[in-house]
């Protein structure tokens, strides 16, 4: 999937082994030692039978909802009891589902214990302080008043929440709180139901069941409808007041590190690739690489249709209907990106007005449109970041559709996987032949993404059969990406870490989890160099760059600000392009070494932050030293 934060938010606003009983085996430590889970693929696959409307289920009476979800509730405890899960993000996901159940059951004491565990598992300071804060205020109110109806309960929730929020250190939590203030105002019954229809209903329609991860979503949606939505005004009011009192921004460290190459740098032409969902090359006239006799491909690179056949368009082609939708859709994309960053503008106000008038079906259609257009604008936005400040850069485009699980509506097959593998190899060969020095990949794929794709498009599979087929497809996909990079040893590939706030290695995310000499993986920070709440991490994520509300172009030439590791990776691509322009003799390995050597530690010492100015000074120093050394040796001879 593409790694702009917008794509993630469109799937989740704010924040499978089948047996006859459709539940996990109930084992205890006395029966068997805990099974170690070192990767996502080690987790059991479970699916829960259900036919009908997810909206009706979420709105149904307690008896109907409980009978459908009872096995899933039992399985949450089994997962925690029987599996030794070596990944905090996965534990957070399971415990979050447990918290939803506890809220629905009125288990205030148990819910408060779960919130404490969730905070212990957080690695980022802002999340450690803010996760479950509103839930905590609600559960504490339930413990102290006799009824969850009426003014007394609402006032108690408000006082609990206000006390907790006002005690937060603004410098640490400002990004999360500003985003929560803006996004929480969007939540409505229509939005929750429309989101469920978009996220979950296609899997039900195809398989007659709800997979585990989708069931966790359903539990969260039900808890939102029952416990949080009635108190929406309390949450919004408290957050608005807190932000109004403290509304200052952290300083931007990145502007002082940026470099624009000048003629005095004597930059040489450098070909920079964007391997993505497509690029509007008309925006980058004079900066685009072209080659003769492209055949069925665009003159600006290579492009492939959704099903993997040659295309002659560097930008994803729009149908007449999509062309009509694009102006409003691009405004919605901009509004959502601004709201994520806690920014209120006339564009966000107009979006909120439109959203407030929508039915759940309208919301479902909105999600479908924005999911498509989020991918449509993605590559163009990435390209602008990668090319900025480098007059010697020439853009080459490699287009394919990586919105696998949501935008590809055909069943994935081995033929498709092998066809795409051949296409990826062709991209690697193109890079070698045309001397493409650096390529940006702001996307990544996991076995679970193929599972979800199958769940939406292929009927009559058990979860275990789906997992097996997904792993076979993924194995081809993963090897194809490796082969492409190995086919271009003179090219540095730069990829995004992902937006799951998880370990890229545990997810088996490719390319982010790969270790290759000509590959570098990038995490995202905000303007001050603090890790964003969404950025993934792991041993392969070796450097960080700005990925928070970054400005660039979208198709048509409009400038918008988007967030995500998708926006951080091209910052490193940009730096690499400048390194190769200043010193064309650099190898990918040497450029990677210089990027890491020039990086500076974050304030907490946990991240390496790129520094264009420092790294380019290093390469100039090394070139001067090499020339001086060479001259001395020659004179001495």
Question: Per-residue confidence at 3, pLDDT binned at 50, 70, 90?
Answer: low
- Rounded to a whole number, what is the distance in angstroms from the first to the last CA of the chain? 58
Tokens of 286: 């004079």
d(CA 348, CA 185): 11
Q: Is the pLDDT confidence value at 496 over 90?
A: yes
Q: Is the pLDDT confidence value at 338 over 70?
A: yes
Question: Per-residue confidence at 207, pLDDT binned at 50, 70, 90?
Answer: confident
Question: Per-residue confidence at 41, pLDDT binned at 50, 70, 90?
Answer: confident
Which pLDDT value is given to residue 636? 33
Which pLDDT value is given to residue 620? 83
Which pLDDT value is given to residue 201? 95
Hunting for tokens 């502007």 — which residue is that?
255
Query: Using an 8 Å Cβ cutoff, are 548 and 175 in contact?
Result: yes
Which pLDDT value is given to residue 32? 60
d(CA 477, CA 451): 13
Q: Which residues pair with 438 in a beta bridge?
A: 272, 492
Which pLDDT value is given to residue 2? 78
Range of lowest pLDDT (26-30, 97-101, 162-166, 222-226): 26-30
CA atoms within 13 A on the CB side of 58: 29
Mean pLDDT of 54-60: 97
Q: Is the pLDDT confidence value at 602 over 50?
A: yes
Question: Per-residue confidence at 173, pLDDT binned at 50, 70, 90?
Answer: very high
Question: Per-residue confidence at 25, pLDDT binned at 50, 70, 90?
Answer: very low
CATH architecture of 255-317+377-628: 3-Layer(aba) Sandwich (3.40)
pLDDT in tens, 285-322: 999 999 999 999 999 999 999 999 999 999 999 999 99
CB-based burial, 336-350: b 16+ in 10 Å, e otherwise: bbbbbbbbeeebbee
d(CA 257, CA 276): 27
- DSSP of 240-272, one letter per residue? HHHHHHH-------SGGG-----GGG-PPPEEE
Tokens of 334: 């901009």
Which pLDDT value is given to residue 629? 52
Q: Is the pLDDT confidence value at 13 over 80?
A: no
Q: Which residues pair with 537 in a beta bridge?
A: 503
Q: Is the pLDDT confidence value at 583 over 60?
A: yes
User: Would you call 353 exposed, middle or buried from its count of C-beta atoms within 10 A (0-12, 13-18, 19+)?
Assistant: exposed
Which pLDDT value is given to residue 22? 29
Q: Where are the domains of the chain?
A: 34-178+208-230, 255-317+377-628
Strands 83-85 and 35-37, how do they pair? parallel
Distance from CA of residue 181 to its chain's centroid? 21
Tokens of 64: 């109907």
Strands 550-553 and 559-562, how do they pair? antiparallel
Which pLDDT value is given to residue 628? 53
pLDDT in tens, 86-104: 899 999 999 999 999 999 9
Average pLDDT score, the chain: 92
d(CA 625, CA 313): 45
Question: Per-residue confidence at 1, pLDDT binned at 50, 70, 90?
Answer: confident
The candidate with the shortest Cα–Cα distance to 588, out of 576, 597, 575, is 576
Q: pLDDT above 90 covers what percent of the chain?
A: 87
pLDDT in tens, 61-76: 999 999 999 999 999 9
Mean pLDDT of 375-384: 98
Q: pLDDT above 70 covers what percent of the chain?
A: 93
């Amino acid at each position: 999937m593409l790694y702009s934060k917008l794509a993630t938010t469109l799937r989740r606003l704010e924040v499978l082994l089948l047996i006859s009983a459709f539940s996990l085996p109930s084992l205890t430590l006395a029966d068997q030692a805990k099974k170690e889970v070192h990767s996502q693929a080690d987790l059991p696959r479970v699916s829960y039978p259900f036919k009908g409307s997810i909206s009706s289920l979420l709105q149904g009476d307690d008896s109907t909802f409980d009978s459908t979800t009872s096995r899933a509730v039992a399985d949450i405890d089994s997962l925690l009891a029987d599996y030794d899960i070596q990944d905090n993000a996965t534990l957070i996901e399971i415990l979050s589902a447990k918290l939803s159940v506890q809220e629905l059951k009125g288990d205030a004491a148990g819910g408060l214990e779960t919130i404490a565990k969730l905070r212990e598992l957080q690695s980022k300071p802002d999340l450690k302080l803010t996760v479950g804060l509103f839930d905590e205020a609600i559960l504490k109110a339930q413990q102290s008043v006799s009824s969850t109806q009426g003014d007394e309960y609402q006032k108690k929730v408000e006082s609990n929440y206000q006390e907790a929020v006002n005690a937060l250190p603004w410098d640490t939590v400002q990004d999360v709180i500003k985003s929560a203030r803006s996004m929480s105002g969007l939540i409505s019954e229509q939005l929750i139901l429309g989101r469920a229809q978009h996220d979950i209903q296609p899997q039900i329609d195809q398989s007659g069941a709800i997979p585990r991860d989708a069931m966790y979503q359903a539990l969260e949606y039900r808890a939102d409808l029952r416990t949080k939505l009635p108190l929406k005004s309390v949450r919004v009011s408290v957050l608005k007041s807190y932000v109004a009192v403290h509304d200052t921004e952290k300083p931007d460290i990145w502007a002082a590190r940026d470099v624009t190459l000048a003629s005095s740098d004597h930059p040489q032409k450098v070909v920079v690739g964007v391997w993505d969902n497509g690029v509007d090359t008309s925006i980058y006239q004079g900066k685009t690489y072209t080659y003769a006799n492209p055949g069925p491909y665009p003159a600006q690179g290579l492009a492939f249709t959704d099903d993997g056949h040659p295309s002659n368009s560097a930008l994803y082609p729009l149908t007449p209907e999509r062309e009509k939708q694009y102006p409003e859709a691009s405004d919605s994309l901009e509004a959502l990106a601004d709201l994520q960053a806690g920014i209120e503008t006339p564009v966000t106000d107009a979006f909120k007005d439109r959203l407030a008038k929508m039915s759940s079906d309208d919301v479902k259609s909105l999600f479908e449109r924005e999911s498509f257009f989020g991918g449509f604008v993605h590559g163009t936005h990435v390209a602008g970041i990668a090319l900025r400040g480098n007059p010697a850069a020439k853009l080459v485009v490699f287009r394919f559709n990586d919105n696998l699980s949501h935008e590809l509506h055909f069943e994935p097959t081995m033929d498709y996987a092998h066809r795409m593998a051949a296409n990826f190899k062709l991209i690697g060969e193109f890079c070698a032949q045309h001397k493409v020095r650096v390529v940006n990949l702001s996307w990544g794929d996991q076995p679970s993404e193929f599972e979800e794709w199958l769940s939406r498009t292929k009927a009559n599979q058990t979860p275990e059969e789906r997992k097996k087929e997904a792993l076979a497809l993924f194995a081809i996909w993963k090897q194809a990406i490796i082969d492409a990079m190995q086919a271009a040893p003179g090219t540095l590939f730069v990829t995004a870490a992902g937006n799951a706030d998880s370990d890229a290695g545990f997810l088996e995310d490719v390319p982010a989890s790969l270790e290759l000499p000509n590959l570098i993986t990038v995490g995202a920070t905000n303007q001050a160099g603090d890790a964003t709440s969404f950025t993934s991490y792991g041993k392969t994520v070796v450097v960080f760059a700005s990925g928070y509300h970054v400005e660039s172009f979208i198709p048509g030439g409009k400038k918008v600000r988007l967030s995500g590791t998708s926006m951080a990776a091209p910052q490193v691509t940009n730096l690499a392009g400048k390194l190769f322009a200043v010193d064309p003799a650099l190898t990918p390995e040497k450029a990677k070494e210089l990027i890491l050597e020039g990086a500076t530690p974050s304030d907490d010492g946990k991240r390496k932050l790129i520094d264009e100015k420092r790294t380019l000074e290093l390469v100039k120093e090394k070139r001067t030293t090499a020339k001086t050394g060479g001259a001395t040796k020659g004179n001495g001879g």
